[in-house]
A = this chain, B = another copy of it.
């Protein structure tokens, strides 16, 4: 088990090298392995420790009985899982967490986390920044989902990936449809209409914005 990987995690990476041994000595933690496909946590599970993924990748999703899956995000090692929920009034996982490949996980008890937050400034700063970025991510996701039309979502997605009127699609249409929470044929139709309307052009994964004004208008409907 490669504990040193812990210091590659965003929360811990700014802890000075000379403090790391002391940090580890004082830490109350356990490690565990998960096989690909295994469920690490279920929606509703109580969070009573800080979970940090040392190796592998997991998928956070909300799944419905009818089979509709909303893929919230994929988390790769080394990263913490839901660190914000450790301190919440209602401290339960908001999503299901499933191992996408074989994983190594470290769990640190809440009291141990509290102690380190108070005594180690780099850890505190790292923890706060991570939670902040997480809230930011959720807020962006909210913005995307609250954009009602598929073309609006596409416009936001494209603009967030544009440099100098050029953008690259970093997901397949199938993945994108799941990310947006819409069906794949509907996404395909909307995308092609945007190309037909001369708003963008697209060759494989590489696109150009042809009419920025029209594209921006799509966001606000």
List residues of chain A with CB under 8 Å of any chain B CB.
62, 64-66, 68, 70, 72, 84-91, 94-95, 114, 117-118, 121, 124-125, 128-129, 131-136, 138-143, 145-146, 148, 181, 219-221
A151 to B: closest C-beta gap in Å: 13
On whether the beta carbons of A220 and B86 are closer than 8 Å, the reply is: no
A179 to B: closest C-beta gap in Å: 11
The one of B62, B85, B114, B124 that contacts A132, using a Cβ cutoff of 8 Å = B85
Could you tell me the distance between the alpha carbons of A134 and B220 in the complex, rounded to whole angstroms? 26
On whether the beta carbons of B132 and A142 are closer than 8 Å, the reply is: no
A132 — which chain B residues lie within 8 A by C-beta? Answer: 84-89, 91, 131
A86 — which chain B residues lie within 8 A by C-beta? Answer: 132
20 contacts between A and B (CB under 8 A): A64-B220, A65-B220, A70-B146, A72-B142, A84-B136, A85-B136, A89-B129, A89-B133, A94-B140, A94-B143, A114-B125, A117-B124, A118-B118, A131-B132, A135-B138, A141-B142, A142-B142, A142-B145, A145-B145, A145-B146
Using CB atoms, name the residue of chain B closest to A82: B135
Could you tell me the distance between the alpha carbons of A141 and B62 in the complex, rounded to whole angstroms? 13
On whether the beta carbons of A221 and B143 are closer than 8 Å, the reply is: no
Which among A90, A128, A148 has the greatest number of chain B C-beta atoms within 10 A?
A128
A82 to B: closest C-beta gap in Å: 8
On whether the beta carbons of A129 and B87 are closer than 8 Å, the reply is: yes
